[in-house]
Every structure is written in structure tokens, then in C-alpha cells.
Chain A
Amino acid sequence: MLWQVLEGLSRDSAKRLRFVPGVVYADEGAACGQSPEDRAKTVAEAKLVLQSVGFPWHIVALEEVFSLPPSVLRCSAREPVGTEGAYKAAVDSFLQQQHALGEEQQSLPCPPRPPIRAGPPTAGQTEALSTLFSSVETLTAKEELLRTLRTHLILHVARTHGYSKVMMGDSCTRLAIKLMTSLALGRGAFLAWDTGFSDERHGDVVVVRPMREHTLKEVAFYNRLFAVPSVFTPAVDTKAPEKASIHRLMEAFILRLQAQFPSTVSTVYRTSEKLVKAPRDGCAAGTPGPRCLLCMCVLDVDTADSATAFGAQTSSQLPQTQPPVAQAEAPTVSCCCTGMGGARHCCRTEEDPRARVIEQLCYGCRVNMKDLPSLDPLPPYILAEAQLRSQRAEAEQIQEYLLEDREDEDARPGES
């Protein structure tokens, strides 16, 4: 993708792209368990490639999530178009490299120039990151967590450097796999955002996927024909057995099916084009509801009469013959589902900090969190934001009971 951008910006091209790009490379070696030497080597290789492209570049290590501010999780309003007229874009396609199937190579984002934050991440941060990732029980949840943290990090970089758009290098094949994976993870409500061309749930920064019409094969051929250099690093799921995670399974399955029915990937892609970014029944006539803490989509956990609310409840609660025995990870879900819609109060009484975070997550993120036995290793910005939101929610709840001291109206107590 980077090469395409380069070409698009060059003077010779017929339709010249009009933006000023920068490139971000996220170094995820700590999450993948790489040794410091390997990481340094990979980063150096990446630097070489990026330097040759000539755009401003930034290398960020995943450890920096520990120093992110909670404002990353807030959806800010879009900034009005500035006087320059041109929009800037941050390019990141190296991340796709991580899932390289061995034979194909993809173009890298630019090598970073000296980053604003000086020096490699501290050992303490690296250790915190590896603690976090090793505390996650399943590979599926690990991959999802990695994806979330990476998104937040890139978002933060984009915001601090003033970029309004982030371009991701997802190809058609990758998006088809991603679509089916999201489906299996319970993110059916958000497919349009996860796999569509533009993703504006973060407000001021828009994520776009310009490569979504190109299959992996085409990308491989392009890279080979035009000698696009690339760097390979192991990912979280490298060398994992096929059945280890949902992502791996889906990838293997789709590629196998593609061999038998050659139209599989394009069919799934075409179906993804028909998805719209709206709740199913068009019931969001009013203001959109609260957003998920991690993925920033409008929460899709419904009131109790949805089928899966019931299903989740029965899978964690005992039959009503005996008083239920509280189970460690499930009472929050069952609590939220019994009773009428506003059942948040009951959660407060049990397992406060965990319940507080869980109830702010969408269905997919909740299922992931089940694989995280303790929320403590999470980066502080997530926990801080969760705290803030629940405090705000509590404040709103008591708002109606507060008596206001209004001088400009008749003395009339507030409603109770």
C-alpha cells in the first residue's frame, strides 16, 4: 500500500493524490515474546525500508500503551477542515506483515525517523506488557487484545501528530477472514465498521482501508514484480497449531474453501459491502447509546428478551430449584440480563471493579474478557476511563434526585 501511495504522490502519476502522509510502525515484539535482540534487528530492518520511502515516520512500541491517556477511549468530534485544504494521512500496512503466510510479502510502512519519544521502552513497561499477554488464557483473546491495543496506540499517534485519517493495508482476503472471524466472535452488529471502507467510530480520526479490493495474491504479485521490500516478524500466532484460535481456524478454513470454491472470498467480500452501519431494526431513532470501552462501538447488549441474553443467562445460572451459587466470571452477565432493562444496580453489589468494567463492554469484548482472569494487568488508561464512565453514570442517576437551588424561578423543589 505504501508503494501505491508513493506512486500516487509522485509527479508522474495521472491523478495525483493530495495528502501529506506519514508512516507508523508498531513494534509488537514484546507481546509476541521476542527477545530484545530480535526486536532491535527487526526494527532496524524496518527503519531501512521506511527511510527509503522518504515520508515522515514514527516507530512506536506497544509498551507505550501503558502511558496512553484515557482520552484515547473517548470519541472526539471531528475537527473542522483547516485552511490548508489538504488532509494528512498516516499509513500503516506493516501490521499485515505479521500475518504473512510465508510466501507473500507486503509493502511496509515507512521507516520511522527519530521518534518524539526518545529511547526504547523501559524494561518495566516491557515486563508489564508480557505479564498482560501471558495472563490471557486463550490465543483468541490474546489476538483480540493485541488488535485493540494496537488500534488505540495508532489512534493516539495519529491524534498527537495531527493526522485525520489512518490507512490500513487490509486486503480483500484478509477482510473476508476478518468478517467471518468477527461473526464468530459475536461482533455481528459491528461488521460494517470492522470491515467497511471507512470506520468513523473514533470521531476525529477516520480509519480507511483502501486496499480492500485487492486479493492477497494480487498484492503478492505486485510486491514481487515491483520489488517492494518487506520485513517479516513473527506474530502472536506464528507457529501456533491450527486449532489454537478462532482467527487461525477461520483463516485456514476460508483458504481451504477457496481452493474448492474459488468464489468464496469475493462472495464474502460482496456480502460485506451490503452491510450498513445501523442497528438492525432501525431502532436508534433517538440518541445512540453508550459506547463500548474498548472498541468504541455502540453497545449491542440488549434487554432481556433477546435470544442470546437468555442463552447467556442460562449458561451461567443454575436452575431455580436452589439459590444460585455465584460463579466467578459469569454473574455480571446474568445479572445484567435478568429483570428489566436498567438492571445495572444489581451489578454494583458484587465484584465491583470487574463488574464495572465488564458492563461497559460490548458483547464481543465481554466474551474476550472472560479469558482474562484479572483486569489488573490492563494498561491504566483503560481502567481509568472505566472508572470515570461509571462515576459519570452514577452521577447521572442521582441527578434526578438532587434538589436544585434555582434563584431565577419560583422556589420549586426538584422532582423525586
Chain B
Amino acid sequence: MPAPQCASCRKARAALRRPRSGQALCGTCFCAAFEAEVLHTVVAGRLLPPGAVVAVGASGGKDSTVLAHVLRELAPRLAISLHLVAVDEGIGGYRDAALAAVRRQAARWELPLTVVAYAELFGGWTMDAVARSTAGSGRSRSCCTFCGVLRRRALEEGARRVGATHVVTGHNADDMAETVLMNFLRGDAGRLARGGGLGSPGEGGALPRCRPLQLASQKEVVLYAHFRRLDYFSEECVYAPEAFRGHARELLKLLEAARPSAVLDLVHSAERLALAPAARPPPPGACSRCGALASRALCQACALLDGLNRGRPRLAIGKGRGGLDEEGPPGRRGSQPSGPPASEPIPGF
């Protein structure tokens, strides 16, 4: 049966159906629609004002590749300039290949690229070392928690080095939905209260962050990458199977099969959660050690590193465990939800 006509230009044959609405579109029209939607997200939310220097968190994976490509297309219209910032977590056999992909992209698109490495920023700790250190502590390694927090710090540091005014990451709608599910399942009221918006305005010296692809479903991101023939790195991080997010992801896949609009519904719910004031995180101050944004005396990154350096890696994870000298029961405050290295490496938020 021949493919139907494209519903938009009515000239070419349709090459795909959009996952959410089932419309048949040809490749060009789909890409145009995708870009238009991202543009709308950015403009309507006033996420990237003209003249902004934007640091794009690039990991070589599909989301950040698509993000960089779309922003590059839209850059003249938005009057922004782009820099790619890649983070090297020191995961052997995985990150090197991803970084190679980023380097190729930077060369092809002629965008300046900066690479920041954990080993350099965090006193020699690479993710492999962290994983070894947390390995013996029980049923799960929770190294993804470390990676997410530290990556965000590294991204911020990289952005500062290039003189950026905004940070963007490639989180898509599926990521947001998974985050909500995950936070509920783990009872993380603090993160629930904070999440659900279109990004953070950047208080207390942190750069404003946003997620222009937030309303695009993962399938559409993949389709876009396919039609634009983008070169990206698509393997899963070696530590990903141990992440809790895997459960949330599996649930989301099932929900989407039962009801295609599930992702959108979850994002809608997340936006409207009303949590009690007592459950909300305290207003952020500054970390006593590094000066970054923190809800407690020490920011999460410093707290985690502290734990690692003392040989007690679980010090800053979970509630009420251990005791950091400077503060009360540690919680996951002072940083955004840890985005785990999942099927594609997405910079954590």
C-alpha cells in the first residue's frame, strides 16, 4: 500500500507518522514542524533572550545532538551564539567513544567545543573510581547519583569557562515524565516541589538553565535525528542498568503503550503538583566551600566528594545516614534530580 500524501505540503509522499497525533508527514515538513515547535517553546517561555551566549551540554547522544543541531538552525533567528560543552566523566570504554562523536560534530558544525573532565575538576575522582568506591555498599551502587550531581557541576564550570550566560540541556518529555515517576516512587518531595517547570531561572549565581526539547517526545527526537542524518553515539552507559531510573523508564514504556498521551499527561500532572510548604526545600544559599548554589551548608557536589574522600561514599546519599559535621541529616538538596546515564548519555540537570 503506497504511503499517503504528506498532510502538510501535500506534495511529497509521507515518510512517517508523528507518534502523538498520527499525522502523516514527509521528512522535510516534519523537521520543519519540529524546529518550529522548539522555537515556540523557547520564544513563548522567553528562555533564551537575544544576545545570549548559550552553552549546550553535549554528550554525543541523540538528545544533545538534536538540540545542538536545532539551536544552530535557529541561532540566527534567536540571535544567540552557541558553544558546545562536553563532560568527561572518566567512564572507560564508553565516554571516549562519545567524546569522539562530539568532536566530529563540533568540527562539522564549526562550533567551539570545550571538554571538562571530572578528574581535573574533582580532585582526581573519575566515575570508574567512584563506582569502585561505592561498589561494596550493598544492593545498588548509586554511582548514578554521583554522576548526575557532579556532571551538573562540571557543566556549569565549563559554561563559565566559555563565558556563557545560559546553559541548555537536551532533556525531552520522556525524561521529564520519568523524573516525576521516579521522584514519587522514591518519595523525593523536595525534587517534586522543584521540578515541572521549563527550567530554572538561576538563583544565587548559578547560570539559568533550560530544556528546549522538553515538550518533544523521545520518538520524535530520534525521528528528527534520522531525517537530518545526524551522527550520534547511541550506546548505553555501562552503569545504566543499575540505575533506579530504569524502573521508571520501563513503567513509562508500558504506560505509553496503554495510552499514547501518557507522557504528556504526566508532564501536565508534574506541573501542577501542590506540595505542602514544609515539604519544599529551603530557599537556596551558597555552599560554604565552593560558593555554588546550595540549600544547606555544603552543596551536594561538595558533600558527595567529601563522602568519597573520607572513604564513606554513602555519606551524602539518602536521609539521615551518617553525619556530615557541618550539617544535619543530609538529603538530596541543593541540586537537581540526577539524570542517570541512560540509553544515551544526556548531561544531568
Contact = CB atoms under 8 A, between A and B. Distances in A.
B59 interface: no
B258 A244 contact: yes
Contacts of B184: 179-180, 183, 268, 271
Interface in A176-230: 179-180, 182-189, 191-192
Interface string B224-268: 000000000000000000000001000100110111011011111
A187 B268 CA distance: 8
B7 to A, nearest CB: 6
A223 B300 CA distance: 47
Contacts of B181: 180, 183-184
Interface in A253-298: 253, 257, 264, 267-268, 270-271, 274-280
A192 B267 contact: no
B21 A246 contact: no
B261 A367 contact: yes
A118 interface: no
B272 A271 contact: no
A398 interface: no
B272 A184 contact: no
A307 B40 contact: no
A306 interface: yes
Nearest to B44: A305
A138 B259 contact: yes
A280 B274 contact: yes
B255 A249 contact: yes
Given A246-B262, A249-B255, A257-B247, A321 B29 contact: yes
Which residue among A257, A278, A314 has the maximum number of chain B CB atoms within 10 Å of its CB?
A314
Contacts of B273: 188-189, 191, 275, 280
Given A138-B259, A275-B276, A276-B276, A322 B9 contact: yes
Nearest to A260: B247
Contacts of B270: 188
A364 B265 contact: yes
Contact of A307 (B7, B36, B198): B198
A388 to B, nearest CB: 28
B278 interface: yes
B157 interface: no
A82 interface: no
B275 A311 contact: no
Nearest to B273: A188
Chain A, interface residues (CB within 8 Å), range: 35 or more
B124 interface: no
B268 A314 contact: no
A320 B36 contact: yes
Given A274-B279, A275-B273, A321-B8, A257 B185 contact: yes
A315 interface: yes
Contacts of A264: 185
A55 interface: no
A186 B32 contact: no
Contacts of A308: 215, 264, 267-268, 271
A321 B272 contact: no
A314 B37 contact: yes
A188 B269 contact: yes
Contact of B180 (A183, A278, A305, A370): A183
Interface in A315-365: 315-316, 318-322, 325, 327, 330, 363-364
Given A192-B274, A257-B185, A264-B185, A140 B265 contact: no
B192 interface: yes
A277 B29 CA distance: 44
Among B215, B257, B273, the most chain A Cβ lie within 10 Å of the Cβ of B273
A27 interface: no
B214 interface: yes
A44 interface: no
A75 to B, nearest CB: 20
A307 B270 CA distance: 11
Given A268-B185, A278-B274, A319 B267 contact: no
Contacts of A188: 266, 268-273
B219 interface: no
Given A279-B274, A307-B271, A315-B21, A245 B258 contact: yes
B214 A140 contact: no
Given A271-B184, A307-B41, 9 more contacts: A180-B184, A184-B181, A184-B269, A277-B274, A308-B215, A314-B215, A319-B29, A319-B32, A322-B10
Interface of B: 7-10, 18, 20-21, 23, 29, 32-33, 36-37, 40-41, 44-45, 173, 180-181, 184-187, 189, 192, 198, 214-215, 247, 251, 254-255, 257-259, 261-262, 264-279
27 contacts: A183-B269, A184-B181, A184-B259, A186-B266, A188-B272, A188-B273, A189-B274, A191-B273, A244-B258, A249-B258, A250-B251, A264-B185, A267-B186, A268-B185, A268-B187, A276-B275, A279-B274, A305-B45, A308-B215, A311-B215, A314-B33, A319-B36, A363-B265, A363-B268, A364-B265, A367-B261, A367-B265
Interface of A: 138, 140, 179-180, 182-189, 191-192, 243-246, 249-250, 253, 257, 264, 267-268, 270-271, 274-280, 300, 305-308, 310-312, 314-316, 318-322, 325, 327, 330, 363-364, 367, 370
The 3 nearest A-B residue pairs measured at CB: A188-B269, A186-B265, A189-B272
